[in-house]
Amino acid sequence: MKKELHKDICEETVFSSLYERLSGNLHDYLYYKYGEQLNPNDKTQEAFIKLWENCKKVTVDKAKSFLFTVANNLMLNDIKHQKVVLRYQSTKPKQHTNESPDFILEQEEYFKKYQEVLSKLTEEQRTAFLLNKVEGKRHEEIAQMLGVTRKVVEYRIYAAFNTLKKELEGFRIK
């Protein structure tokens, strides 16, 4: 019956001896199975980092299996990622729209008017309005950020909304 001398991989000497004994074999395994382009050196290092992070959970006799499994999974994840990248690159962006040129022009003009009206607002109104409507912050959060009460924030947003509604035809917002 085999007696386990070292139970803890977290000891530096045990870990370094495992690294010296297994790193070459692990690298070669990854290199022969997947080739150089997926960088087996990095995956070998990452596998040993994972072993170090889980050193309390992995016993010495299970370390080799753990390392090879983790390294293989890292390579497979990298392959999956490359497939996604290739699939994304192969899809061509849409070169046309269903909108008419008049609609696009009107949209650009409306956006310019919107920017002009926003610039006419006071800085306090603009800040509160944009924090609420663009960034989605709640009134209480904005009040804490600006160092004012919630009612002040509500008033500023209401005033900004009214100005936008008066200046822009058909202005609506949720």
Delineate the domains of the chain, giving CATH numbers in brackets: 12-90 (no CATH), 101-167 (1.10.10.10)
Write down the H helix ranges in 35-172: 40-53, 63-90, 101-120, 123-133, 139-146, 150-167
Q: How far is CA 23 from CA 28, 60, 124, in A?
A: 9, 15, 61
pTM, entire model? 0.50
Q: Is the pLDDT of residue 1 over 50?
A: no
* pLDDT tens-digit map of 87-99: 888 777 767 667 7
At residue 174 the predicted structure's pLDDT band, cuts being 50, 70 and 90, is low
Chain segment 50-76, per-residue pLDDT in tens: 999 999 999 999 999 999 999 999 999
Give the tokens for residue 94.
């849409």
